[in-house]
Amino acid sequence: MNGSPPIDTSFSWQDAYSTAPFIISGAWPARDWTNDDLIKNLPGSFPVRIGSRELEIGKPKYDNICEKREMSVRDFISWTSQSSSSSLPSIDKHWGYMDYIHLVEHDDLESFRSAFPWSSLLGRDYDDIQPTVWLGTAGAHSPLHYDTMGWNLHAQLRGSKQWLLVPPGGPTYNDRLDRQKELGATRTPYENTTVYSEFDALGDPSILSSIEGVRVLTLRPGDILFVPPLWWHCVCCIDDQSNPSALSFSCNIWLSERPDVINTIAEVATALKLDSEDAEMCDAMKESMQECMSWLKGEQHDETHPIVQSLIELADRGRKRYDDFLARYKDLAPPPTTTASELAKIDRSKMCLSFLPMRAAPVERERVRPWDILRCIETQY
Ligand SMILES: O=C(O)CCC(=O)C(=O)O
């Protein structure tokens, strides 16, 4: 079926870019999430990313290089309170992160979703909000990256987290590309919707010292952080490990918006390049890419194709939602700062980590860059 191009691809990120991240303090019922609450409400078992408290500067702790163990929240908590005599690495020397628990993927957590009053925050009861929860000991962290989808609303419910935020680079596509190059943006290691930096900003924040508008923020229980699209971030749980109940517990959503249509297509292309060992899956993804691109260009396409339908829905829903969202929060959002002095606020003593110099030269790996993916879309579809 023919049709006009469904979205304005020249859409500018100006609104989002000219907005810096902001916190609404005490915005949410922080509740006293006790260990028993967590154990009761998060049944089943989840992967825990484990890392050494001694960090080699220059080696970001990407998801794929960390040791992982599957455990229940009960076992995780008993490990963190040192009451377990398990075969797990010693909690004195390690951190653990039950991170990125996407509630929608766990049927038995459906009721838990209602514990988070996102609709009160958004002023509307969206039926497709998909919260993710994060439970970590002091020192647990996520290396510098940005998420390819929409606004991120991150609510701290227990404990504290330090966030280091770096602006996307500027309002134009080229500004953002320059920032991506400056920060060594890479899709390898591959994680859906995550673009990592190859630099270790936690180990050596000085690599950011020439960048304007860097932000360092601490989230405390009841706070909600709003992260505008494409802002780079690096996050560390910073509670005192000498307190056994010092777990950080937080919950977030990514609020998709219209430009995410393009990002969704780039995600399919990235998966196709990096995650397509299965030939059948690969063919299906190629077909999806063709349909996406035909739809985007207003050419003949299959309107019943599931990915086309989801893009159409995203385009419709995204624009409306973004307008609602900005109307509600735009007055709260400050402009980005113009100095880099924020970096001085990083308190690494609270991170319960020690930083070792790099012992060996980094291994040169073949990287897949976000701009390679765009080139691939342009040339192949
Ligand atoms: O809290 C973390 O460790 C990472 C959170 C994050 O990356 C996000 O909310 O986008």
Return the residue matching tokens 């109940």.
Answer: 245
C-beta 61 within 6 A of ligand 1: no
Q: Kindly report the CA angle at 20 between 263 and 175, in degrees rounded to 5?
A: 55
C-beta 132 within 6 A of ligand 1: no
Q: From CA 320, how far away is CA 317, in angstroms rounded?
A: 5
- Cα–ligand 1 centroid distance for 237 (angstroms): 10
- Cα–ligand 1 centroid distance for 305 (angstroms): 32
Please give the distance of CA 122 from its chain centroid, rounded to a whole number.
Answer: 19
DSSP H or E run through 328 = helix 306-329
C-beta 78 within 6 A of ligand 1: no
Q: What is the pTM of this model?
A: 0.91
Q: Kindly report the CA angle at 48 between 219 and 350, in degrees rounded to 5?
A: 35
DSSP H or E run through 75 = helix 73-80
What DSSP designation does 333 have? P
Of 157, 151, 147, 153, which is closest to residue 118 (Cα–Cα)? 153
C-beta 129 within 6 A of ligand 1: no
What are the residue ranges spanned by the domains of the chain? 19-256+334-370
Of 257, 23, 65, which is closest to residue 148 (Cα–Cα)? 257
What is the pLDDT, as a whole number, of residue 86?
A: 67
C-beta 95 within 6 A of ligand 1: no
C-beta 137 within 6 A of ligand 1: no
* 5-37 per-position pLDDT tens digit: 455 544 444 556 667 899 999 888 877 789 999
Indicate the CATH number of 19-256+334-370 among 2.60.120.650, 3.40.50.620, 2.40.50.140, 3.40.50.300: 2.60.120.650
What is the pLDDT, as a whole number, of residue 258?
A: 63
- Return per-residue pLDDT of the chain as tens, 381 residues: 444 445 554 444 455 666 789 999 988 887 778 999 999 999 999 999 999 999 999 999 998 889 999 999 999 999 988 765 668 898 888 999 999 999 988 888 887 888 898 988 888 887 778 899 999 999 999 999 999 888 899 999 999 999 999 998 877 778 889 999 999 999 989 998 999 999 999 999 999 999 988 999 999 999 999 998 889 999 999 987 566 558 999 999 988 766 667 788 888 888 888 877 778 888 888 888 888 888 888 888 888 888 888 888 877 776 677 778 777 887 787 777 666 678 989 988 889 899 998 876 666 678 889 888 888 887 877
Ligand 1 atom 1 nearest Cα: 235
C-beta 248 within 6 A of ligand 1: no
